[in-house]
């Protein structure tokens, strides 16, 4: 047989077997119920210890966004604490020095080390690599927090604290699952690797360089990659995420001169930069959310009947979603339309104007130079460079029709591609089965409307299957005031990861 045909046949057979397993038409061994029960009981009995450890981690102000020496020291302390915990579990741990971060003001700060850890090297077992991050967004009680953001506080089963859900809680849940097997003196069902960073909230400085460097070493034996750094779409029903949108972030500058003008002296005789900019921004999207840039929808994957059915199967209470969002009315009326426009269609958002007067009071100024900021969330199979050309051409056309004497410059500050996975991969089936075991329900198969660059990066550099298994509820408030993770999500999430290890061992 032709080798290429042989590979195609093997691939088709693998997909067929997964589908048969999924539908229960062909059974694979289930994880030993007695072992599962022992592990779950251990997790329940030690949940207060797990919460206490989360409290100790939340207490570390590991803010990577503010480039301040004190926070960098906290980040180093956080990474050292995590490395020590993994070593005590028996992992081989390397804390990789990532050098210095050069700041715009010319100063530099040390980048916290990235942890590479390994537990087990049995060639007969599958190897699962878990990615997580231990840095957090800035938080201050004076900004609207009801409690001290760095003191984990439990209220009605909700654990409030910065990093509780993003991402210290999920990282600890994975480690807790490993510790349950260790404490019960049970072999880990799979080999486990960890890659844990401390700069995700600041753009994962130096991470891609390390992954590229380690792709033939640390990642060479990895079969699957798991990320738990997003949320469910509901408060009680678990989910598996198989896709995220990309992001192209644009700046459009309109300039007459560097100084501002007095509107009494110059108003009426100038092409005002702000008027030009408002016209440019107003040309990008209409009142129904439809992007007006010509050609922008050309590469969007066509909608299929099968995909529509996946949206119908997802649990989303529109009234609850609207109320929790504190929004009077969405652009669309049905669950399916809302999900599709969050996940599988591009969106354009206008974020702000730099150089405009935005203080309280009245100031009769004409800005001499303004910069509009907007972004487009990209979906398969949109291409970042093509979108950049389309947007630039559109804005140049609109600007030329105004016959303005001002100068316009368009630049793309950020370009991140969308990510989508094959939901027939082994670890998706294992995750579904683990969710059924722990939660007694089928998971929502969801995409995420935001951008998680690490998923695309792993898929492209390491060439391994990536799955996102979120633990947090939709109302956890990541990045916001009063961020929390429910105790139930944290503890049941620990059980989920333990069950996932066992399912992966059966299916690998």
Active site residue 208: no
Is 472 in contact with 238 (CB distance < 8 Å)? Answer: no
Is 463 in contact with 272 (CB distance < 8 Å)? Answer: no
Strand ordering across the sheet containing 484-486: 153-155, 158-160, 484-486
CB-based burial, 321-335: b 16+ in 10 Å, e otherwise: beeeeeeeeeebeeb
Nearest to 355 by CA among 485, 246, 258, 211: 258
Active site residue 135: yes
Residue found by looking up tokens 């469910």 in the block: 232
**CA–CA dist 352, 186 (Å, integer):** 55
209 assigned to a ligand binding site? no
**CA–CA dist 137, 21 (Å, integer):** 41
Q: Would strands 224-227 and 465-468 be described as parallel, antiparallel, or unpaired? A: parallel
197 assigned to a ligand binding site? no
Q: Give the other-Cβ count within 10 Å of 454's Cβ.
A: 25
478 assigned to a ligand binding site? no
Task: Please pick, among 63, 200, 444, 478, the residue that the annotation labels catalytic.
Answer: 200
Task: Please pick, among 74, 135, 425, 492, the residue that the annotation labels catalytic.
Answer: 135
Dihedral over Cα of 10, 29, 469, 51: its sign: negative
341 assigned to a ligand binding site? no
201 assigned to a ligand binding site? yes
Our measurement of the distance from residue 342's CA atom to the centroid of its chain's CA atoms, rounded to an integer in Å, reads: 14
**CA–CA dist 179, 161 (Å, integer):** 23
Our measurement of the distance from residue 390's CA atom to the centroid of its chain's CA atoms, rounded to an integer in Å, reads: 27
The residues that are catalytic are 135, 200
Annotated binding-site ranges for Mn(2+): 133, 166, 201, 229, 479
Annotated binding-site ranges: 133, 166, 201, 229, 479
């Amino acid at each position: 047989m032709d080798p290429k045909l042989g590979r195609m046949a093997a691939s088709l057979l693998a997909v067929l077997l997964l589908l048969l397993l999924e539908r229960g038409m062909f059974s694979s061994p289930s994880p030993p119920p007695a072992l599962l029960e022992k592990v779950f009981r251990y997790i329940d009995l030690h949940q207060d210890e797990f919460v206490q450890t989360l409290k100790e981690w939340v207490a570390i102000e590991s803010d990577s966004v503010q480039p301040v020496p004190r926070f960098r020291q906290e980040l180093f302390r956080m990474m050292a604490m995590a490395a020590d915990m993994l070593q005590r579990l028996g992992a081989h741990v390397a804390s990789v020095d990532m050098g210095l971060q050069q700041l715009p003001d010319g100063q530099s700060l040390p980048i916290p080390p990235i942890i590479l850890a390994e537990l087990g090297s049995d060639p007969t077992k599958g190897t699962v690599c878990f990615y997580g991050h231990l840095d957090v967004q800035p938080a201050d009680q004076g900004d609207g927090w009801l409690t001290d953001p760095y003191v984990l506080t439990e209220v009605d089963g909700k654990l409030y604290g910065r990093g509780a859900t993003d991402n210290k809680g999920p990282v600890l849940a994975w480690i807790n699952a490993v510790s349950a097997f260790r404490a019960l003196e049970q072999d880990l069902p799979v080999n486990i690797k960890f890659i844990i960073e401390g700069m995700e909230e600041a753009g994962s400085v130096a991470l891609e360089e390390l992954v590229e460097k380690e792709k033939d070493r640390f990642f060479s034996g990895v079969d699957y990659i798991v990320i738990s750094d997003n949320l469910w779409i509901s408060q009680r029903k678990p989910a598996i995420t198989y896709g995220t949108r990309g992001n192209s972030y644009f700046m459009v500058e309109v300039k007459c001169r560097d100084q501002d003008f007095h509107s009494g002296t110059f108003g009426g005789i100038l092409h005002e930069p702000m008027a030009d900019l408002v016209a440019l921004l107003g040309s990008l999207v209409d009142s129904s959310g439809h992007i007006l840039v010509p050609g922008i929808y050309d590469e969007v994957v066509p909608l299929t009947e099968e995909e529509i059915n996946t949206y119908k199967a997802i649990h989303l209470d529109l009234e609850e979603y609207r109320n929790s969002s504190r929004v009077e009315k969405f652009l669309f009326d049905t669950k399916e339309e809302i999900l599709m426009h969050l996940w599988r269609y591009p969106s354009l958002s206008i974020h702000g104007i730099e150089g405009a007067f935005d203080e309280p009071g009245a100031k009769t100024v004409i800005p001499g130079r303004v910069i509009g900021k907007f972004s487009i969330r990209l979906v398969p199979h949109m291409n970042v460079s093509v979108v950049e050309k389309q947007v630039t051409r559109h804005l140049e056309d609109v600007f030329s029709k105004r016959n303005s004497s001002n100068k316009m410059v368009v630049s793309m500050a950020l370009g991140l591609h969308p990510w989508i996975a094959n939901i027939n991969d082994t670890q998706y089936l294992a995750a579904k089965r683990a969710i059924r075991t722990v939660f007694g329900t089928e998971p929502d198969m969801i995409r995420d409307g935001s951008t998680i660059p690490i998923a695309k990066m792993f898929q492209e550099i390491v060439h391994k299957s990536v799955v996102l298994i979120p633990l947090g509820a939709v109302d956890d408030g990541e990045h916001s005031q009063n961020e929390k993770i429910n105790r139930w999500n944290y503890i049941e999430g620990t059980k989920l990861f333990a069950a996932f290890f066992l399912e992966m061992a059966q299916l690998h």
